[in-house]
Chain A
Amino acid sequence: MATQAPLKVPVLDYEKEMNRWKEVYKIISGPEPTIDHSPRQMVWRKNKSVLWHYPAAEKKYKIPLFFVYSLFNKPYILDISPETSVIGGLTNRGYDVYLLDWGQPGYEDNDIGLDTYVTEYLERAVKRALRHSGAEEISMVGYCLGGTIASIFTSITELPIKNLIVATVPIDFSTSVAPGKWTEGMKDGMVNIDRLADVYGTIPAEYIFMMFRSLAPFYISPYVSLLTRAHDSRFVDKWRRMNMWLNDATPFAGEAFKQFFNELSKENKLVNGGLVVAGRNVDLKNITCSFYAISSANDNLVLEPQSLPVMDLVGSEDKTYQVVQAGHVSLALTGLFAPIVDEWLSSRSEKLEGAMA
């Protein structure tokens, strides 16, 4: 007579559960995580902007890197933890890195437009980085909207730019992740933000946060993810840093917001032409240095069709385009960006004699 196996009832792993809820309690009751930056020193400060220098652990390349981050977020995503820092990854690979932190504009910065940011902040900062490093040329790296600004800057500047790298960059605004009717309303002039920008002077950080959140207002999966893996303290630490950064939006100077909204987003002047910055006509054909564009396959903020047209717009002969399996934030958050940049840049950064491979 065959005997039937007793039904196996899965049991809870109590130890794991205890760890999970301990971590959850810590997150709820504990302070915000602290961000430990890679070793750095301030080179220049203007208004709220700061130019940081991250020296190479062991310098291997003559050409330093200059990071330009988005105006919408804070740049510490590029140096969020010692293990996954993009900047730390590059300094460890032998690059001198400079980062321009735009800072948080205040009410008095309402008249800072894109042209002021490009000529009075970025151009001056690049000049200082060149002088500080003693290098004859510099490589620009732009992330997200920072890539758009770096492209505009490279197309109009007289400064010696050796390489330009842009990642998850919005260039063509004819498509976007926003619903079609919203985009249509904006392009038709039905939705006009000029009056709001004028009255606020500087768009508050909360509004910027809401603007991005409105694209996907139901936001629970990250919290469920946290709960699912709360027993893993390394994951919790990483999650907390990311969550802090995601909720840490930055205000946006009114004039720059109007220009971004009207000239880039509405009139798509980077593709259609006609964008004038500080009296200089912006034509991406003027970018003739080595050019590298990176898109994230799972980007839910900047779609690939927004980045891809840049390849036809730039005048560079040496140009490369790559799609990586990452998201808009995870490309920087996981530190994946550093080896990708290094692979392309190492042969274009003039290796120092005697530097170890």
Chain B
Amino acid sequence: MAKDKYDPYQSFRQMSELWEQQMNTLFQTATNNSEFVNFAKAGLESHAKYMEQLRKNQELMASVMNIPTKSDLKNIARLTIQAEEKIDALEEQIWNLQDSFKAINQENMGLFSELVKVTKQMKTELARNAKELGETKKMKAELEALRSDLAAANDLRAEIRELRTELAEANAVQAEVQELRQELAQFMMKADKEQEEKDLVLAGAAGK
């Protein structure tokens, strides 16, 4: 079984990890002081100074030998980067234009849909108006018919008025006839009375 087999690496690993940790701690302890920092500072400065001088000499030699240096390449590379930046700026301008066109298109689409809506509405209204006009014409004809009916009614009214006048006159005649009838009745009653009296007188005279 593999479990029973000897693995020398496990203890080696543990030992090495411990050793690494201790060595790193030792390094940090040994360098964690002002002297080391001063030493690093001096090293850094002298290295920078040396490199500055070296670069200066390189540039000088290259200019004497008329060969391009890293600085020349840097300038050329920067031109390419500048061109890229201009393309990026142009791309963003194109985006702005695209966005503007899109916004205008949307506005136009809105306007068109509004126009279509208004046109449809107008069409509906026109149809309604035409229908209403037909109805108005019909109403007008009916009105005219009514007017002629009214005129006829007026004539009838005048005739009725005349009839009424005539009726009034007939009533007056009737009243007069009534009066005459009454007078005649009174006269008849009077005549009857006088006849009776006359008869009584005559009867009285015959009795004597």
Name A residues whose Cβ lies closer than 8 Å to a Cβ of B.
Answer: 8, 10-13, 16, 46-47, 106-108, 110, 120, 124, 127, 131, 179-182, 184-185, 190-193, 195-196, 198-201, 216-221, 224-225, 227-228
Contacts and interface: CB of A to CB of B under 8 A. Distances in A.
Nearest to A14: B5
Given A180-B32, A182-B31, A199-B52, A218 B70 contact: no
Contacts of B85: 46, 120
Interface stretch (B40-48, B120-128, B129-137, B192-200): B40-48
Nearest to B1: A13
Interface residues of B, number: 47
B74 A10 contact: no
Contacts of B7: 13
Nearest to A197: B48
A196 B47 contact: yes
B13 A106 contact: no
Contact of B16 (A46, A191, A220): A220
Given A46-B88, A106-B77, A217-B27, A193 B13 contact: no
A198 B180 CA distance: 153
Interface of B: 2, 4-10, 12-13, 16-17, 19-20, 23-24, 27-28, 31-34, 36-38, 40-41, 44-45, 47-49, 51-52, 55, 70, 73-75, 77-78, 81, 84-85, 88, 92, 95
B126 to A, nearest CB: 44
23 contacts: A10-B6, A11-B4, A11-B5, A11-B6, A12-B6, A107-B70, A107-B74, A108-B78, A127-B92, A181-B34, A182-B40, A190-B37, A190-B38, A192-B44, A195-B44, A196-B48, A196-B51, A201-B74, A216-B24, A218-B27, A220-B19, A221-B17, A225-B13
Contacts of A191: 37, 40-41, 44
B77 A179 contact: no
A198 to B, nearest CB: 8
A140 to B, nearest CB: 20
Given A190-B38, A191-B41, A224-B12, A199 B2 contact: no
A110 B74 CA distance: 9
A196 B51 CA distance: 8
Contacts of A196: 44, 47-48, 51
B27 A107 contact: no
B32 A179 contact: yes
